[in-house]
Structure 1
């Protein structure tokens, strides 16, 4: 049974793990339903989270029964690019071992949920056989490297996918533990594992103080929210040899600790494309050496940059890398592209971005996404791309098959993006309950209900065809990047949420707290006066986020809903 360690910190666990081996092998051989808490920490580096079903937790605790343990496994896919054969293999595994569900993540990976400990080795070995890997999907290392998946031929020629793969391989943890545990000890040729030898790796035995995120995009479109990453790399679309480097971003925070905060990365400057690995390696090493290893809530790179200053951090990176940053202007981006819908390319083919409900691929009555996506991929054998909103792009389908493709989508009830309202098309949520151990409130399961209610309100205001974006999370950690949404709904307790409003559509401005601790039943009615004010007083072409951003504090206060009333228990006297 997984229990919290009372004697060892995460840093101590890493030191004693023998380069991320721990006692995983021994515990896999036992009949226990889960892993020890120390082992669960080590497993994160292998892309495995040990969880329990939150829906049954209270009942099982009352019955003094063992919790309903399972694992979440995250496949790290640099740039979100995979083949039809790889996807179909993952689909088969999901049906066999993963509760017949896949979830595309907002960092362009793929997750399996509710995997039993007894099935873990088979799943991991099978994933590796597809030339995909979970190594580095979680843990205190460089996580999955994201990249704009644009279908535009000009963007695709920039090679962001290949660059994401190169960076990913450079920063895989230097250990044979993954091979030993999941692939029978064989160091098989696999261009996604990497695992550089210890002597040349940027990591030491304790890896990094916390996770580290890297994102790539172009100066045209910030669909991956690069400013929210520890390192954001922007390729100049007019001169692909030049790349602007941003560092110190991160969105995770605590709802009860005001010293934690969301932050956008600072512009360090511009470099030549050939210098990327040296510069990123220097930034990762700076985090390794100077990051806070005593307090995990302040261990992200953003706190180091905030405390020491951008000038200091830039100077340190230049010293460590031997690369001098050229002055540059902060990117503002040209478009807000969700990469959904049809894009006609050359050579008689087209690409189609398919909206998935918060990235979930599962069969439900009237909407058989698992079967529908598999059928489409089996028939057309397309290359695939995952967006940073958890949606799927099918690429290079012959135009002559267009009618057949759309007929397939209709057969399985898979929504065509053009038939969705702008609100439903733009919005997404994190997983939250019942699997995430950090979730305070519902998110993925609640978002459809919230959107339908919000859409009904918009219809009453004659605004149903207008663009609004909602990003919802079950806690303040920000996995769906709510602080970069026009409307961010962040779980605060089982029944209440904080409302953030005012980000721009290019990911260059954080939103701010509009209302704290709002009861779930009052979220839409609490936003209605603000939406009404927007309808009546906006300027031509002004977005909802930009409108809110220019309101003065007094106006915002007059529109703010009251916080949730808390019930006070009265103890009866005998």
Structure 2
């Protein structure tokens, strides 16, 4: 192992208050049951707002109504978001119907498809929270570890039409998720009324310990040439290497993460480093040791610097790799050749090697709802009721209708057309790949709009694209209401990060396949300033680009910004 002082490896932390909450929680119980039964308020106890995340939920308020409610001396309008853990993003038709129904009867009548291939239900009031959780579990899915300081939803490429390796990758995603699932029985006790602890038996967490991880942990699998899970932005990224329909192993990347804080020096987005190759049957063993190292050496004092990326950088990537190999008792093999071409989704009908059909659908920012333009929610419910396809969520807030037989294709197509879901007319290349986080009005961290605003901004950007004959060019545009990175803005060829209402930092130059971060270009821009900048930038791109040159590559080549380095491979 390379030389490094013990103090650098494991400083003497002064634990944050969240560490106290976890330690005193009795394996994630806290006072949640008492909070849920207190009907004098729509909120839960302050400590419990941290613990409920491990159970898959966040307490939220309607920020649009905050000022008026304070004037009327009313309590904030509290509600809860519930996130469903779906490894690999694959849901059955019955599960889709169940979540569609829950969103209508218990939520705000919309479903959100997230950038981690999960469902989110919004607008659940406290007195219906437990009932909603029970209905979710009846679908044979659950919400445990969808949030919190544990491994979250494991992502993987979902569209079988792009590779025969997808079923093998999906199996690995499910296996990893099951292996890293918290072992506490608190979830079943609190939400499902199953009193498991008897005869003095005590909970234990063999992987996490009673304080769990210092911060959230994310794992994703991609199958070249598609990096549709943006695996380099994850704590652990697995690049599938295989032959035929079987994955032989994975190149493994560690230390990715996009969140940062404007006011906190030393916080930054980072892409993972490739540390080597692991055979398929050794993958979970390697992942467990990385998780345990983060458990033991991660920052438990400052949560803004608690992700694995900061642990890797503090200790040093090469030293951290040595520590992994020391725990394993063997060296990782040299990484295998691979190539990514895009981190976007594949749209339209494609036939898999199995003979089944898969349809990639554009869902604007992952929001399933009916509108004047299309009856998206109603139409997808009708398709689910046919029981002739499954529903595969993508890492880009998209949806794939999967495993469709030849004889069922026309019936599904007819419903898609009737409800104006597909085809949707001409979409610009930029709009097809645009991402936005939820932001206002429910996210407590948001400084600015994202999901509610980006569609109208895209209308104006598309005029500029059309003027420059760029409507069909694929350009990655991503927007978030804050720098925490939920919509992966730092991997956009054009990224917008909210600074205040109506003002955004603008970033340029990410790689089209997710292998290079973008660079800050201009700060605190208004909409008018954004559009003025894009008129110049896109005009220059249209006039001066080289053949097949991507926008993100162009802005670095001509010196508009200085490109950041691409991902590293440690040998």
Deviation at 1:514, TM superposition (A): 1.1
Distance 1:236 1:329, change over 3 A: closer
Q: CA offsets, 1:232-253, max 9 Å, x none?
A: 1111134822211110000000
Aligned mate of 2:44, from 32, 35, 38: 35
CA change 1:318–1:86 in 2 (3 A) is: same
Structure 1 residue 161: Cα displacement: 1.1
Distance 1:421 1:266, change over 3 A: same
More displaced stretch, 198-207 vs 367-376:
198-207
Q: 1:26: Cα distance to partner?
A: 1.0
**Conserved? CA contact 1:355–1:416, under 8 Å:** no
TM-score normalized with structure 2 length: 0.91
Matched residue SS, 1:363: coil
| 1:276 corresponds to | 283
2:257 maps to which residue?
Answer: 250
Instruction: Identify if the C-alpha distance between structure 1 residues 329 and 514 changes in structure 2 by more than 3 Å, giving closer, same or farther.
Output: farther
Match of 2:303 among 275, 278, 296: 296
**Alignment pair present for 1:178 and 2:187:** yes
Residue 108 of structure 2 is aligned to residue 103 of structure 1: no
1:211 paired with 2:219, answer: no
Partner of 2:345: 338
Q: How does 1:135-150 map to 2 (within 5 A)?
A: 135-150=144-159
Could you tell me whether the CA contact under 8 Å between 1:417 and 1:425 is conserved in 2?
no
Q: List per-residue Cα deviations over 1:23-63 (Å, max 9, x = no partner).
A: 01111111121111111111000001001001101211232
Cα contact 2:161–2:353 (8 A) shared by 1? no
Counterpart of 1:237 (choices 220, 238, 242) is 242
**Counterpart of 1:396 in 2: which secondary structure?**
strand
Distance (Å, rounded) in 2 between the aligned partners of 1:125 and 1:519: 45
| Residue 16 (structure 1) aligned with residue 24 (structure 2) | yes
Determine the C-alpha separation between the residues in 1 that align with 2:236 and 2:166.
22
Q: Which deviates the most, 318-327 or 209-218?
A: 318-327
Summarize the alignment of residues 71-220 of structure 1 with structure 2, pairs less than 5 Å apart: 71-152=80-161, 154-156=163-165, 159-185=168-194, 201-220=206-225
Do the aligned residues in 2 keep the contact of 1:433 with 1:442 (CA within 8 Å)? yes
2:319 and 2:71 mapped to 1: Cα distance? 54
Encode CA deviations 1:467-487: one digit per residue, 9 max, x unaligned: 222111111011011111111
Please point out which of 31, 44, 61 is paired with 1:52.
61
Whether 1:492 aligns to 2:499 is: yes
Offset of residue 461 of structure 1: 2.0
CA distance in 2, matches of 1:288, 1:555: 36
User: Following the alignment from structure 1 to structure 2, what is the Cα–Cα distance between the partners of residues 521 and 54?
Assistant: 25
In the alignment, the residues of structure 2 paired with residue 477 and residue 365 of structure 1 have an alpha-carbon distance, to the nearest angstrom, of: 32
* Residue 444 of structure 1 pairs with residue 451 of structure 2: yes
Give how far 1:380 is off: 4.3
Tell me how far apart the structure 2 counterparts of residues 316 and 401 of structure 1 sit (CA, whole Å).
Answer: 53
1:346 offset after TM fit, Å?
A: 5.2
- 1: CA distance, partners of 2:311 / 2:354: 49
After superposing the two structures, state which structure 1 stretch, 506-515 or 323-332, moved more. 323-332
Superimposed CA distance per residue, residues 263-293 of structure 1 (whole angstroms, 9 cap, x where no aligned partner): 0001111111111111101110111000000
Instruction: Kindly state the Cα deviation for residue 154 of structure 1 after the two structures are TM-superposed.
Output: 3.9
Q: State the secondary structure of the residue aligned to 2:66.
A: helix
Q: Which residue of 2 aligns with 1:425?
A: 432
Checking the alignment, whether the CA contact within 8 Å between 1:171 and 1:201 is kept in structure 2 is: no
Q: Deviations over 1:66-104 (max 9, x none)?
A: 101000000010010111111111111111001111101
Per-residue deviation at 1:416? 2.5
5+ long unaligned stretches in structure 1: 1-6, 189-196, 557-574
- Displacement, 1:149? 0.8
> What SS does structure 2 have at the residue aligned with 1:12?
helix
Trace 1:307-322 onto structure 2 (pairs within 5 A). Answer: 307-322=314-329
Q: Which residue of 1 aligns with 2:520?
A: 513
- Taking structure 1 as reference, are residues 141 and 507 closer, same or farther at Cα in structure 2, changes over 3 Å only? same
Report the Cα distance in structure 2 between the residues aligned to 1:554 and 1:160, rounded to whole angstroms.
Answer: 37
Q: Provide the C-alpha distance between the structure 2 equivalents of 1:150 and 1:237, rounded to a whole number of angstroms.
A: 17
Q: Deviations over 1:140-170 (max 9, x none)?
A: 0001000011222743455111110110011
Taking the aligned partners of 1:36 and 1:139, their CA distance within structure 2 comes to 17
User: Does the CA-based 8 Å contact 2:82-2:143 persist in structure 1?
Assistant: yes
Q: Which runs of 5+ in 2 are unaligned?
A: 1-14, 564-571
Deviations along 1:406-441, whole A, 9 cap, x unmatched?
331222222426732212211121100111111110
Conserved 8 A contact 2:149-2:213:
yes
Choose 156-165 or 121-130, whichever is displaced more.
156-165
CA contact (8 A) 1:150 1:156 kept: no
Contact 1:386 1:392 in 2 (8 A): yes
1:63 pairs with one of 65, 72, 88:
72
Which residue is 1:223 aligned to?
A: 228
Counterpart-to-counterpart distance in 2, 1:346 and 1:326 = 31
What SS class does the counterpart of residue 11 from structure 1 fall into?
Answer: helix
- Residue 404 (structure 1) aligns with: 411
Provide closer, same or farther for how the CA distance between residues 105 and 285 of structure 1 changes in structure 2, counting only shifts above 3 A: same
Distance (whole Å) between structure 2 residues aligned to residue 402 and residue 362 of structure 1: 23
Give the distance between the partners of 1:401 and 1:418, measured in 2 at CA: 23
How has the CA–CA distance of structure 1 residues 120 and 157 changed in structure 2, closer, same or farther, with 3 Å as cutoff?
A: closer
Specify the alignment match of 1:559 in structure 2.
Answer: none
Cα distance in 2 between the residues matched to 1:457 and 1:153? 32
Higher relative contact order at CA 8 Å, sep ≥6: structure 1 or structure 2? 2
Shift of 1:219: 3.1
| Kept in 1: contact 2:388–2:408 (CA 8 A) | no
Give the aligned CA root-mean-square deviation in angstroms: 2.1
